[in-house]
A and B are shown apart, each in its own frame.
Chain A
């Protein structure tokens, strides 16, 4: 293929849709390094000169993709390079343009490299998302009816007045109550996430959803269905805002204007967003320092205020029915009616008013730092409606900036398009459920945007095929054919949805579908995915004659599947089956008789006026002090050591700042002679040495799987090793299965089964044991051991000093403006919580296993010694000489005979595998510390910027010469059975290892699927610090990135699947 720079620019700028819809990947695959660099230059110049927002954004995504997926693979691109700390600081501060300039200069000076490309990819990606978010924000502000709220800066200028009807007291002097009841919405087609604002604004023709307003009830709990959302407003004789969320059990009297904008201070952020977005306290007065009472005096009357109450009828979070957006819309509609911005105080809204509620809900979500799709306020509209993107026309604020408008149009389906009989049939066949899983769909929405703008081949074809499915569903609705709907939604889920986002499905969902299908056969008409991901809200379509049985069996099937997978996947609650009915009225207001009796029953239970966010409240947890105490005893908790740590923490002898080495420590990058490079292959003899050793049975694998994997599920407390994280070889595989499959392949290769040990902790031991038994140890033929942890810590409430150090002294990624405000408000609240709950006090206000913590992976090797696993292994394999130790998330690590051979040749006690650094590889690396090569943890870096002078990152994979390690412990093989001696040896060495204080996120679950995340303090000792001991002979080997990279965060998965990493891992595995 001949190559002419500017082809990618043409794809972006061409007026021809067929050219515009071409994929970048095909072109990039064929290009050389220099051709790609030339293309990147052209794209840079396009984004600098183009006036068109979407040309700029698409150029940014193209540049991201070139640097993330293509350039690093081209011959002639260096693996090793340093990333400028200066550029990184720009990234953290969201100065993306400056970061890009810095990294591009480095690329020009030093040539292209994997490291610089990783930095450029992040900067381009973040700038693209920021540009899109800024545009949505501008569009929201420019919607007519919203603009005045940003102009109004002083209460004296307030142009709204409460409707006089609401001030008319009854005979008892009570004010009337206005009540708004609002259904939620379900998306009947799954739209391929085409309701993302970015997508609708660039590709309005492709933004289509079929959205249905529904009433709900929880099966077995509620007598029938009703609009699940209720909001209430009334005047009070106090100059303040009284906000109450009945379902969250929170109420607060707000007397200061600034507190209205403090979203994360309590659980009332949504009510505050509604007060602001409805114009009662317009966004323009934020930071004005004016008086809330004066503002209310003008709007409501002197000395008076407003009470706003919300109630969601026990519908759990994560239902995928847009409960929170519709609640926000309901509150906004209520406030708009009360202030005359909607004509009627009763009944429904006009189309114009509904559209304004939608615009205000978008504004409210942005204010609250969240964001849904444009169909989410669908409950405001009645019945079934087709919502579609609209091309921007002259006069629209978006005209000339984006192809589409911010706001879609709604067309309510009449009875010719969906007859009353068809509507009943739908109700009689569809079973709506909440599977109970807790999920964060934010990354999914960014992935969808990215894939749309890149027009990645298969994803684009999938998106196009969804239109036909939508048409099929519309036709089936007209024709009254439920089976056809089930067929279409099932095909949609298994085909296009998963082609665009493989992560839309998971093992839990697939387990339920397959069990339902097996049990109901042809009477199961189809599966229907709701919203961003499956596992929470979902739909199952049955033959109407079997719906009742379907409901009752689904409850059992889901509960069973949950109990099997609850340690592997994050669940927020028990699965729920709903009753539902189509709501043909949309949001609806009515007057209630004056007096508190009209308010929800649980409102009256909220006597205490304030429940601060994250306040200690043991009643909300399932845990109790007794069971925690029992568990501490069972896991051998060392109370004396714990008290010492607490005393040290309070005295400031240990803490985040004290983790660091002295500022005078000399940190330098290593020299070439300090390590061996195995990235370009090794000598043939090494491989032969390794294979021979393997054949003789001298090697075993130890997978570290005792940690809580906090980053993987944001502190959900599941067992990461058991997470079925990706489909490999045609089915979902857990980390454990992948590691066993690699060992199986190596065992077959050398005709000697490879022993494999998984270390476990208090959290993971029993679940792992039970899981492996249920899975029949994945049919693994070699010796398989679980090494149970012997150490456990009790988490502590962090000190204010450490919280401030983490949030104020350490480099932090700034968030988008409004999200940053919310984050700062939350942090302020969390510092308040730590001080109120008692700094360095025991963290016990959670279920027991969330109060405990693993004490760092250093202990996992001594545990092998202490718990007898190594002794048992040696009984079976007395010839054992080498251990491969790796983290559970280093999925590319295996017993590569060539690297094993190199380790044997090097003859060291420990050989650590290193990889060249990318920007995401934070947390230390290989350095010369005061002239001696060792691994230094990020926690111990005297200054953050030191890390950016280090070329190599620690993969946490190490090879252990068993006898040499035992010598370090001053033990022999024979002494391994002497428990006392082993314990003494471990204690002696442990005393030499540094103890780090870390802050980890831990989730606390309460209510209906609600979760709070707390930072808690814990201590740990880390294996890599063995390199700091002078008596331990350590060597360092550079390995290919595919071997050494780790999966720490689920948001890495998509890139991991697309950049060849997953395929590489599959090539290492033998599944049977």
Chain B
């Protein structure tokens, strides 16, 4: 499997300005969140990037992408028919190729030198199938994420065979269907906001979009659930963490995470200690 393309979704009505927020990245440079995401993708060896946006958002996004703007292909989601629809809008861009999918309101901080996107692309390339990045997440956060039910792959640390996918499950459903052996009690594998998808997933989304018509509500999780029943579909725990910049204090937390893993770590920690001491 050769992954050359990536798609960033940024068309959500409530999230459309988030990629435009400015942060200081791990190199101490001030950048838009979108730029940080693009650089994450580029590190993974991706050549072409499609960004799904609301109609009219192209200009601010191009500005935010700075030097990378020319690499981007903007795709407009003309009507909000669900997250699955947003992804499906990029079908023409992805064609029949596998591609890396990221959400525009998440930032990732890898534990080592290899970016999260690169880790995922390498796994998908090696395994040659659909792979979703996942993170063990406490059940209190289930209302925010798609969650998978999966089995560990023997001899492959951090890799799981996915059996089920449920979007924002209740803990009741999670406990009945989504328990993964080896996780701590009350923890489930929730989506990380990063996937490698194939054309078959896009085909499934096409069908869903057609059947939903104008009523919408097309979910990527539902398409992935079908994928799990039809073909080999893996989940991968990556060496890194995701930060949702759309939640309360999400941007701040993401900034702190970036800062304390950056060259400015000591300076930032000193500021924090000072703040705490004043308190």
| B176 at interface, CB cutoff 8 A | yes
Contacts of A356 in B (CB 8 A): 172, 176
| B179 at interface, CB cutoff 8 A | yes
Contacts of A157 in B (CB 8 A): 138-140
A279 to B173, CA, bound (A): 12
Contacts of A146 in B (CB 8 A): 175
Task: Please pick, from B170, B176, B179, B185, the residue contacting A159 in the complex, using a CB distance under 8 A.
Answer: B170
Binds B, one of A335-343, A485-493, A1056-1064: A335-343
Contact B186 A145 (CB under 8 A): no
Contact A339 B176 (CB under 8 A): no
Could you mark each residue 83-113 of chain B with 1 if its beta carbon is under 8 Å from any beta carbon of chain A, else 0? Answer: 0000000000000000000000000000000
Q: Shortest beta-carbon distance, B255 to chain A, in Å?
A: 23
Contact B170 A341 (CB under 8 A): yes
Q: Shortest beta-carbon distance, A936 to chain B, in Å?
A: 58
Contact A160 B171 (CB under 8 A): yes
A22 to B138, CA, bound (A): 51
| A522 at interface, CB cutoff 8 A | no
A144 to B142, CA, bound (A): 16
Contacts of B174 in A (CB 8 A): 148
Q: Shortest beta-carbon distance, A779 to chain B, in Å?
A: 66
Chain A residue nearest to B143 (CB atoms) is A161
Contact B186 A148 (CB under 8 A): yes
Contacts of A340 in B (CB 8 A): 170
Which of B143, B172, B185: most chain A CB closer than 10 A? Answer: B172
| A147 at interface, CB cutoff 8 A | yes
Residues of B152-188 contacting chain A, CB below 8 A: 170-176, 179, 185-186
Contacts of A160 in B (CB 8 A): 143, 170-171
Chain A residue nearest to B177 (CB atoms) is A144
Residues of B115-147 contacting chain A, CB below 8 A: 138-143
Chain B residue nearest to A355 (CB atoms) is B176
Contacts of B185 in A (CB 8 A): 147, 151
Chain B residue nearest to A282 (CB atoms) is B171
Contact A144 B186 (CB under 8 A): no
Consensus secondary structure, chain A interface: loop
Task: Please pick, from A144, A151, A158, A161, the residue contacting B176 in the complex, using a CB distance under 8 A.
Answer: A144
Contact B143 A159 (CB under 8 A): yes
Task: Please pick, from A151, A156, A158, A279, the residue contacting B172 in the complex, using a CB distance under 8 A.
Answer: A279
Which of B141, B142, B173: most chain A CB closer than 10 A? Answer: B173
- Total A-B contacts with CB atoms under 8 angstroms apart: 50
Q: Shortest beta-carbon distance, A302 to chain B, in Å?
A: 13
| A352 at interface, CB cutoff 8 A | yes
Contacts of A339 in B (CB 8 A): 170
Task: Please pick, from B139, B142, B175, the residue contacting A145 in the complex, using a CB distance under 8 A.
Answer: B175
Contacts of B171 in A (CB 8 A): 148-149, 159-160, 279
Q: Shortest beta-carbon distance, A15 to chain B, in Å?
A: 32
Contact B140 A158 (CB under 8 A): yes
Contact A148 B139 (CB under 8 A): yes
Q: Shortest beta-carbon distance, A394 to chain B, in Å?
A: 14
Contact B140 A145 (CB under 8 A): no
A754 to B141, CA, bound (A): 83
Q: How many residues of B contact A (CB 8 A)?
A: 16
A341 in contact with B173 given A144-B179, A148-B186, A151-B185 (CB within 8 Å)? yes
A279 to B140, CA, bound (A): 13
Q: Shortest beta-carbon distance, B166 to chain A, in Å?
A: 11
Which of A156, A159, A356: most chain B CB closer than 10 A? Answer: A159
Consensus secondary structure, chain B interface: helix
Q: Shortest beta-carbon distance, A539 to chain B, in Å?
A: 37
A151 in contact with B170 given A157-B140, A352-B176 (CB within 8 Å)? no
A475 to B92, CA, bound (A): 63
Contact A145 B172 (CB under 8 A): yes
A356 to B138, CA, bound (A): 22
A159 in contact with B175 given A148-B186, A151-B186, A341-B170 (CB within 8 Å)? no
Contact B143 A336 (CB under 8 A): no
Contacts of A144 in B (CB 8 A): 175-176, 179
Q: Shortest beta-carbon distance, B109 to chain A, in Å?
A: 24
Residues of A127-161 contacting chain B, CB below 8 A: 144-149, 151-152, 156-161
A298 to B176, CA, bound (A): 23
Contact B139 A159 (CB under 8 A): yes
Contacts of B142 in A (CB 8 A): 159
Q: Shortest beta-carbon distance, A872 to chain B, in Å?
A: 75
A339 to B171, CA, bound (A): 11
A898 to B228, CA, bound (A): 89
Residues of A337-361 contacting chain B, CB below 8 A: 339-341, 352, 356
Q: Shortest beta-carbon distance, B152 to chain A, in Å?
A: 17
A249 to B250, CA, bound (A): 48
Contacts of B170 in A (CB 8 A): 159-160, 279, 339-341
Contact B140 A159 (CB under 8 A): yes
Chain A residue nearest to B171 (CB atoms) is A148
Contacts of B138 in A (CB 8 A): 157
A159 to B144, CA, bound (A): 9
Contact B173 A148 (CB under 8 A): no
Contact B175 A147 (CB under 8 A): yes
Q: Shortest beta-carbon distance, A1014 to chain B, in Å?
A: 40
A279 to B139, CA, bound (A): 13
A156 to B142, CA, bound (A): 13
Chain B residue nearest to A147 (CB atoms) is B175
A145 to B172, CA, bound (A): 4
Contact A336 B186 (CB under 8 A): no
A145 to B139, CA, bound (A): 12
Contacts of A279 in B (CB 8 A): 170-172
Could you mark each residue 158-183 of chain A with 1 if its beta carbon is under 8 Å from any beta carbon of chain B, else 0? Answer: 11110000000000000000000000
Chain A residue nearest to B140 (CB atoms) is A157
Contacts of A147 in B (CB 8 A): 175, 185
Q: Shortest beta-carbon distance, A380 to chain B, in Å?
A: 16
**Chain A residues with a Cβ under 8 A of chain B:** 144-149, 151-152, 156-161, 279, 336, 339-341, 352, 356
**Chain B residues with a Cβ under 8 A of chain A:** 138-143, 170-176, 179, 185-186
15 contacts between A and B (CB under 8 A): A144-B176, A145-B172, A145-B173, A145-B175, A147-B175, A151-B139, A156-B140, A157-B138, A157-B139, A159-B170, A340-B170, A341-B170, A341-B173, A352-B176, A356-B172
Given contacts A145-B172, A149-B171, 11 further A-B contacts (CB under 8 A): A144-B175, A145-B173, A145-B175, A148-B186, A151-B186, A157-B138, A160-B170, A160-B171, A341-B173, A352-B176, A356-B176
